[in-house]
Structure 1
Amino acid sequence: MGIIIRLLITAVSLWITTLVIDGIDLTADTTAGKAGTLLAVAVIFGLINAILRPIIKTVGCGLYVLTLGLVALVVNGLLFLLTSWIAGQLDLGFHVDGFWPSAVLGALLVGIVSWVLNALVPDGDD
């Protein structure tokens, strides 16, 4: 049950990000299409973060220490762009236009909104 709640929280975070940040587009015609696209992109985003983030942190731990963690913003932006690219390959209506204005801010906003929602909503593991 906790995984489903986290998936829904990530989908809501992605939806809020598409509303707030220019350059992150959700191009589905219907409400059901938008919800389905957001859920699919949330799955992609979750898989990318689960698989690649630990590898990147392990390999780049020196950069994390050297930059006091600021390289995490760049890594998060790149992972967000990768999510957009994979969504494009799967013909999902989710697109991130650029790196600095869209991808980095989008990844930061998704992280903040997800953190707040995870703190507010019990996921069954609590």
Structure 2
Amino acid sequence: MKHFLLTWLGTAVALIITAHIVNNFIANSFIVKNFAAALVATVVVGLVNAFIRPILGILAFPVTLITFGLFTFVLNALALWLASALTPANYFTINGFIPAFLGSIVLSIVSSIISYVLRVVE
């Protein structure tokens, strides 16, 4: 249970950091209202990744194979964009595919770093 809570909190922090980084490149394109909104958005992102992302991965397998796996970046962006669409608009918003694409890359990097730090601390 402790690991689950730390992962949830770490991913919420990663989402806030990602919003700040993406907004430095494209203003007001990746919005997370506050930490509570980040916690809600993290749950939605997790649910999308658990239930919808595998279906997208299976359907897009031929394209992913042809592009040597690079289409996975597009699938990650679509999953993140869908999560923002399913989250209440005043909590978590991504305005367009390019911010979702940049956000998915930055979120995976920041989440990996935070996960590594939490593993070392634990």
TM-score tier after normalising by the smaller chain length:
0.7 to 0.9
TM-score of the pair, normalised by structure 1: 0.82
When the two chains are superposed, the root-mean-square deviation of aligned CA atoms in Å is 1.8
Which residue does the alignment assign to 2:92? 94
Q: Quick check: 2:77–2:103 contact (8 Å CA) kept in 1?
A: yes
Which residue does the alignment assign to 2:8? 7
Structure 1 residue 91: Cα displacement? 4.6
Which residue does the alignment assign to 2:85? 85
SS at match of 2:57: helix
Q: 2:113 aligns with which of 102, 116, 120?
A: 116
Aligned residue runs from structure 1 range 36-55, under 5 A = 36-55=36-55
User: 1:33-58 deviations in whole A, cap 9, x for unaligned?
Assistant: x1110100001001110111222222
What amino acid does structure 1 have at the position aligned with 2:97?
A: F
**Greater shift in the superposed pair: 2-11 or 40-49:** 2-11
What amino acid does structure 1 have at the position aligned with 2:12?
A: A
Q: Does 1:62 align with 2:62?
A: yes
Aligned residue runs from structure 1 range 28-39, under 5 A = 34-39=34-39
Consecutive unaligned residues in structure 2, runs of 5 or more? 24-28
Q: Does 1:25 align with 2:22?
A: no
Which residue does the alignment assign to 2:26? none
Q: How many aligned positions are there?
A: 115
Identity of aligned residues (%): 29
Q: Quick check: 2:10–2:111 contact (8 Å CA) kept in 1?
A: yes
Structure 1 residue 104: Cα displacement? 0.2
Consecutive unaligned residues in structure 1, runs of 5 or more? 28-33
